[in-house]
Amino acid sequence: MKMLLYNNAMNKLQEYIKNRGIENVAEICDVSVHAVRSWYYGTRQPTVKQAKKIMSVTNQALTWEDIYGPIEEEATA
């Protein structure tokens, strides 16, 4: 399956979801299981509001770059 998010084998958000479980992440981030599945498989990215919630519930363990990818890639894309 092709990953649409930045391709780093598995980014940190995907790794977090894998370790915590899709249902658990959905519950603590107050989003649907479908939304978390979309993030995990790379078909969608969290909204800014959702990203802020993710950073908050992970106690800043995940950053903007962990969720959206390195800034350098965006500048050269």
Are 57 and 29 in contact by the 8 Å Cβ rule? The answer is yes
Please state the pTM of the whole predicted model: 0.78
Compute the distance between CA of residue 51 and CA of residue 31 in angstroms, rounded to an integer. 11
**What domains, with CATH codes, occur in the chain?**
12-76 (1.10.260)
Are 69 and 6 in contact by the 8 Å Cβ rule? The answer is yes
Q: How far is CA 37 from CA 8, 22, 34, 61, 72, in A?
A: 18, 7, 5, 20, 26
Residue written as token pair 């950053």:
63
What are the tens digits of pLDDT across the range 31-75? 999 999 999 999 999 999 999 999 999 999 999 999 988 877 555
Are 51 and 67 in contact by the 8 Å Cβ rule? The answer is yes
